[in-house]
Amino acid sequence: MRMRSTLAAALGALLLSVALPASPAAAADGEFVYTYVGLNGLNLRGTLPDPDSNVCIDIPETVGSNLPAFAPRNFTDSTATVFLDANCNGDVFYVMPPGKRLGDRLRFRSVVFS
> Span 43-58, mean pLDDT?
97
> Span 22-39, mean pLDDT?
82
Q: Say whether pLDDT at 8 is over 90.
A: no
d(CA 92, CA 14): 49
- Write the pLDDT tens digit of every residue in 57-103: 999 999 999 999 999 999 999 999 999 999 999 999 999 999 988 88
> Span 26-36, mean pLDDT?
93
Is 3.40.50 the CATH classification of the domain at 30-113? no
pLDDT value, residue 66: 92
pTM check: above 0.85: no
pLDDT value, residue 24: 47
Which run of H or E residues covers position 4? helix 2-19
pLDDT value, residue 19: 41
Q: What is the SS3 string spanning 20-63?
A: CCCCCCCECCEEEEEEEECCCCCEEEEEEECCECCCCEECHHHC
Q: Domain residue spans in the chain?
A: 30-113
pLDDT value, residue 2: 52
